[in-house]
Structure 1
Amino acid sequence: MWAKYLTRWGSGSERVFYTTKTGKIAQDSVRAIAAEEYLYKITRLTDEQVVVIKRLSRMSPDSLHQQHMSYLNDFLVLQQADDDYTRSGFFSPVADQLLHAFKCNLLENLHSSHEQAVQPVLEALADEKLEILGDKQLMVEFMAFFGHQFCRTKPFRDNATRRLVRSSDLENHVADAFVNGWWFLSYMFGMNLGDSLYQSRHQDTHALLINDTTIPFITSDHPIVNVHSSVSETIFSSPDHADLYYPISPRIAYIICNSDRFQPGKNYINVSTAVELNAKLASQAMIHIIGNTQNSIRLFQSFIGKCGQKT
């Protein structure tokens, strides 16, 4: 589904321009980028780490907590099966392959299910058909997708874990649970964010940004970012507002604002706004920024990772 998303920058093909790990600009198939590091392999959770996850989950509304625990139980059943297989002393290449596949794909399949559910929404929004979000179930799916897309990336993980304190045994246990269990916590946090965005949809501003300027929108390996001016590149701090920006194509983007910068519905932006949004997206990228032309990438290449370089 990630590859399908990127094809909107392919000008009718599957080839896009993007920045590489070595800092060059290349043009290649969207699948070359998608193959980088988007799978989330399950790691074994200790009993202590499970306790930490459950305590964090209890801070959520009860309905979300129950969903978290249902998903967690599925993963723990797989972990128990793996443990039983190891203790049995029985070796089977087929069993090894099946367990490995489950560990690599179980969580990714959940993310894929969210991505598949919102394909009609993304296609409609790319055609400026905002009315599709009048369907309550599609809006639920879109907000769930939005939450997971924001929380599943490396920059979000790094920001969440960089301030972990390890000055006592208890803090070490909590920090270890965050690091080792991040594959599950990120999914849990994505669920919570998506639910929060849905619940606040009438208070926040939901807007479609239409870009008919000479500076097309780019996207990145961290495609949903907070573009509010209070987001600092020099210190790690909580911003005053969340203006969550998501480019859908070189011409269309969606933004959820709890500031008053944009008006609900369709907003036609100017060149300076297009430049600003692209620069902020690039500054929170890991490695790749992706565009429909080489020049659209070159203009913002120097901004890549700026937010992640300072604390």
Structure 2
Amino acid sequence: MSPKYLEVKKRHHHVWANYLVRWGRGTRDVFYTTKAGKIAHDSVRGIVVDDYFYKISALTNWHVEVIKGFSRKSPEHLHQRHMSYLRDFLEIQQAEETYRQSAIQDREVEVHLNAAKCNLIENLHSSHEKTAVPVLAALADENLDVLEDKQRMVEFMIFVGQQFCRTKTFRDNSLQVLTRRSTLEIEVADATSHAWWFLSYMYGMNLGWSLYAGRNEARHALLINDTSVPFITSDQPVVNVHSCVSETEFSAPEHADFYYPISPRVAYIICDSDRFKQGKNQIDEATVVELNSKQAAQAMTHIIGDTEEAILPFQKYVGRRYQKASRGPALA
């Protein structure tokens, strides 16, 4: 039997399954909307997951140049971090090329290479999830003091940034709005699609750092929902609910209020706006309905709740902003 670290991870969740369990009412089963437009009740293990979603693909010199071009727009310390990760992945790619050219067939080498390609990005996300466990547990219990610890705060902001950028919803819509009006734009768009497994992690790193660096300018608030309407979540659990965000098309907003439901009762929000005060906020039913509506509108397929009644009123919003975008690019 191979060591555990050599076991290939095939099922890649782009929304953390253990996060979704908070909508399971003590079980692993949640209510969610399906691709067919129905409502199902099943295990979190079977939703927001795709086989080999984060699997590494071989990068050509052109792919690498496109990655570097996007990375250079980042602060220098993040650019250097991106390049360090990229070198690690390219070393694995070079090792595989050397092995293939040798014409040697070695089962053990094959197992190591396949595990590396399938598991490395998935393992990085798992490491972020692990650091978020105690923070999410504390926040679900309305304990904001957990984020007074600098290390906990930076880890949680990185986790939030990655959860925003790692989803299939974010990938599909980011690629959809890329312009393809010239040969160069087509080549860049194709390279972006091919290298998305790396770029999405890079973007998540950037967003997480930005959220942490701006923590003293933004308002970080816990939203407490004691109304009869519970919070729902979705296949894009971190969403921008700022009033400047279009509800009918996928486009780049000027401001961000990043909203992240933690349970049917508690949510976390990072605000550019002054809508909520720093710390705990008791919110009314109208606000819950608004936030749930925006959560559903920015979902691609799945909204998730603890009861069928919790998601039924918001089912009509699912994918609404992307339906218009699919008829043409939202960004020039």
TM range (shorter): over 0.9
* Among candidates 33, 49, 58, match of residue 47 of structure 2: 33
Is the aligned partner of 1:253 residue 2:267?
yes
Match of residue 204 from structure 2 = 190
Aligned partner (choices 225, 230, 237) of residue 211 of structure 1: 225
Paired residues of 1:234 and 1:310 also in contact (CA < 8 A): yes
User: Is the CA contact 1:18–1:290 (under 8 Å) kept in the aligned structure 2?
Assistant: yes
Q: Tell me which residue corresponds to 1:50.
A: 64
Q: CA 1:245 to 1:38, structure 2 compared with 1: closer, same or farther past 3 Å?
A: farther
Task: Verify: 1:131 aligned to 2:145, yes or no.
Answer: yes
Superposed CA RMSD: 1.7
Aligned residue runs from structure 1 range 150-299, under 5 A? 150-299=164-313
Specify the code of the residue in structure 2 equivalent to 1:268: Q
Question: What stretches of structure 2 of length at least 5 have no aligned partner?
Answer: 1-14, 326-332
Number of aligned residue pairs: give it. Answer: 311
The 5 Å alignment of 1:15-26 reads: 15-26=29-40
Q: 2:82 aligns with which of 64, 68, 71?
A: 68
Instruction: Give the TM-score of the pair, scaled to structure 1.
Output: 0.95
Query: Gaps (5+ residues) in structure 1?
Result: none
- Corresponding residue of 2:118: 104
Identity %: 62
Residue 123 of structure 1 deviates from its aligned partner by 0.4
Q: Report what 1:77 is aligned to.
A: 91
After superposition, give the CA deviation of every residue in 1:44-96 in whole Å (9 maximum; x if it has no partner): 11101101211221221121111111111111111112212222222344433
CA contact (8 A) 1:39 1:105 kept: no
Q: CA separation of 1:275/1:140 partners in 2, compared to 1, >3 Å: closer, same or farther?
A: same
2:249, 2:324 within 8 Å by CA — same for their partners in 1? yes
Q: Distance in 2 between matches of 1:104 and 1:286?
A: 25
CA–CA separation in structure 2 for the residues paired with 1:236 and 1:14? 32
Does the 8 Å contact 1:150/1:190 carry over to 2? yes
- Change in CA separation of 1:33 and 1:155 when aligned onto 2, cut-off 3 Å: closer
Looking at structure 2, the residues matched to 237 and 16 of structure 1 have their Cα atoms a distance apart, in angstroms, of 31
Query: In 2, are the aligned partners of 1:233 and 1:310 still within 8 Å (CA)?
Result: no
CA distance in 1, matches of 2:320, 2:258: 18
Q: Partner amino acid for 1:269?
A: I
Provide closer, same or farther for how the CA distance between residues 235 and 8 of structure 1 changes in structure 2, counting only shifts above 3 A.
Answer: closer
Structure 2 SS opposite 1:208: strand
SS across alignment from 2:169: helix
Kindly provide the CA deviation profile for residues 123-164 of structure 1, in whole angstroms up to 9, marking residues without a partner as x.
000000001100000000011011111111223223322232
TM-score (structure 2 length as normaliser): 0.89
